[in-house]
Each structure stands twice: as C-alpha cells, then as structure tokens.
Amino acid sequence: MLRFAPRVATRAAAAFQSSHVAAGTAATQALTARWMTAAAPGPKPANPEFSSGPCKKHPGYNISNLPTAVFGRSHRSKLGKERLALAINETKRMLGIPEDYLVGIVPASDTGAYEMAMWNMLGAKDIDICHWESFGKGWFADAVSHLNLRETVEVTEHTAGYGELPDLTATSKDRDICFTFNG
C-alpha cells in the first residue's frame, strides 16, 4: 500500500475516488479514503542488529555460523523434506500442539496464506467473493472448482474490471466475505 503525508493523502484519495470509484458507493469511498490516508511508518530503529521480523540478532551473531547443508536444495529433495518434517515436529513439540492437530509450512506469500485460509475457513456459511484483478479471480475459481463450495453453500460473485471496485455494499455481514487487496 502506498503511504502519503496527510496533506498529499487527501488529494490522492480525492483523485483516486473521482477517477476509480463509481458514484453512489459512499462506503467504498470512505474505505478508500481511510486506506489512502494511513500513517507513514515510523523511523528505522537505531540498533544496527535490527533485522526482519522484527528481531534483534543475538550477541556474537555471525552469518558464517549458519549451517549450509540445505542451501540451494529443493524442499522436494529428500533432505528438504526431512528438514521440513523436523521443523513441523519441533514446532508442535515446543508449542504443545495436540497430536491430532496438523502444523503446515506454506510459502511466505499472500498466495499461500490466502489459499490456506480458504481451505480451512470456508464452507460453514454462505460466501460473498469480491474480485477485480487476476489473483482474486483465480481464488474465486478455486473456491467454486477445487473446493466445490457451491455444493454446500451459496457463493455470490461480486466483480469489477481492473482499476474498479465492485459494489461492496452488496455484500452481507452475515456471510463470509473474501477479497484480495494487492497493491
């Protein structure tokens, strides 16, 4: 998501609304304005040991101490599969997860997370699926063809062209609502 200073954000939100959002969708316009005026992130930490996560590296950390046996190996290789199984088993053990529960490792991407959520959370309630770009359209297709959700619940498609938003007021708070927000 792009972040702007507040004064610029107001102009950007107004320009975005006038050029991309159909008139008469006040809720959509208000939501877009809120996204466009989100506060900028704070300053970077002063500590040079700060890393992604955020996590501070332990004293004496040195990248040369990392084992390299699995570098460049596929997760589908024998060694890759063994390491994934070890990570999954240790995660269950350390967190005290019951034996009849499953732990999975998914790609570090929106795709993996969204797919996992769809496969695990959808199907108990009727669903409104909104899409206006290729990722959302693909996930809508997965919901109806791979998950076969139309066999058990009502699935309503809300769509719009690229750069447009569907009428989000047509969705219902009593249903599961799925949409992607890529940017």
Q: What is the pLDDT of residues 90-110, one digit of tens each?
A: 999 999 999 999 888 876 666
Which of residues 66 and 99 earns the better pLDDT score? 99
Q: Which residues are CB-neighbours of 113 under 8 A, at least 6 positions away? A: 106
Alpha helices in 37-104 (DSSP H): 78-95
Distances (CA, A) of 82 to 18, 66, 70, 143: 54, 18, 10, 32
Q: What's the pLDDT score for residue 103?
A: 87
Kindly state the tokens that stand for 54: 């955020």
pLDDT at 68 over 80: yes
With tokens 């959509």, the residue in question is: 28
Q: Which residues are CB-neighbours of 23 under 8 A, at least 6 positions away? A: none
The CA distance from 86 to 181, in Å, is 34
Q: What's the pLDDT score for residue 20?
A: 44
Q: What's the pLDDT score for residue 116?
A: 82
Percentage of the residues of the chain whose pLDDT score is greater than 90: 36
Which of residues 100 and 15 earns the better pLDDT score? 100
Q: What is the mean pLDDT of residues 115-135?
A: 90
Alpha carbon 36 to chain centroid, angstroms: 19
DSSP-derived 3-state class of residue 18: helix
Residue type, 31: L
Q: What is the mean pLDDT of residues 168-181?
A: 91
pLDDT at 166 over 90: yes
Q: With a threshold of 0.75, does the pTM exceed it?
A: no
Q: What's the pLDDT score for residue 4?
A: 38
Distances (CA, A) of 147 to 80, 96, 160: 29, 30, 23
Beta bridge partners of 127: 155, 176
What is the CB neighbour count within 10 angstroms for residue 28?
18
